[in-house]
């Protein structure tokens, strides 16, 4: 057991088309930029960094494309903001995977995809 590990610091989404992914995330979210290079972008999301990095290493693997998502990211908002986000996503032409719905686990969710097919979720806690 890795007992010294007590915190989640960052997540990295590996990208084939880094420029397209940078545009998508910058256009959709207002997270401050922590750092950026030609091959990466790190956004500050509360206490965690959300990184985008071009696949350049031999162990980065290959993208499965839109039909084979590699990651799901969930962003917490208030209950009323789920529907607001949905309307904004529609206006921006973002592919919606599941429209707003109340889930049995006590969340209200909307699911959508980034340009490389990763699943993104905006959710709110509606029950404890």
Give the CATH number, domain containing residue 47: 3.10.180.10
Q: How does pLDDT run across 17-44, given as a tens digit for each residue? A: 999 999 999 999 999 999 999 999 999 9
CA-to-CA distance for 45 and 48, rounded, in angstroms? 5
Nearest residue to 120 via CA among 25, 19, 22, 14: 25
Domain match, 25 and 76 both: no
Query: In 3-state terms, what secondary structure has residue 49?
Result: strand
Domain match, 76 and 50 both: no
Residue 10 in contact with residue 42, Cβ under 8 Å?
yes
Domain match, 52 and 107 both: no
Q: Examine residue 106 and state whether it is found in any structural domain, yes or no.
A: yes
Asked which of 10, 31, 56 is the last residue of a domain, the reply is 56
Quote the domain boundaries for residue 107: 69-128
Q: How does pLDDT run across 76-102, given as a tens digit for each residue? A: 999 999 999 999 999 999 999 999 999
- pTM, 2 dp: 0.86
Q: Examine residue 63 and state whether it is found in any structural domain, yes or no.
A: no
**Count of domains in the chain?**
2
Q: How does pLDDT run across 2-22, given as a tens digit for each residue? A: 677 788 889 999 999 999 999
């Amino acid at each position: 057991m890795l007992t010294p590990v007590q915190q989640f610091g960052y997540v990295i989404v590996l990208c084939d088309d880094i420029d397209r992914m940078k545009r998508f995330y910058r256009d959709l979210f207002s997270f401050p930029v922590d750092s950026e290079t030609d091959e990466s972008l790190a956004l500050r999301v509360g206490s965690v960094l959300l990184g985008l990095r071009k696949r350049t290493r031999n162990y980065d693997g290959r993208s499965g494309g839109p039909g084979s998502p590699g990651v799901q990211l969930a962003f917490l908002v208030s209950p009323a903001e789920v529907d607001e986000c949905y309307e904004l996503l529609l206006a921006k032409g973002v592919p919606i995977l599941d429209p707003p719905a109340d889930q049995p686990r006590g969340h209200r969710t909307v699911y959508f995809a980034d340009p490389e097919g990763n699943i993104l979720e905006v959710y709110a806690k509606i029950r404890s």
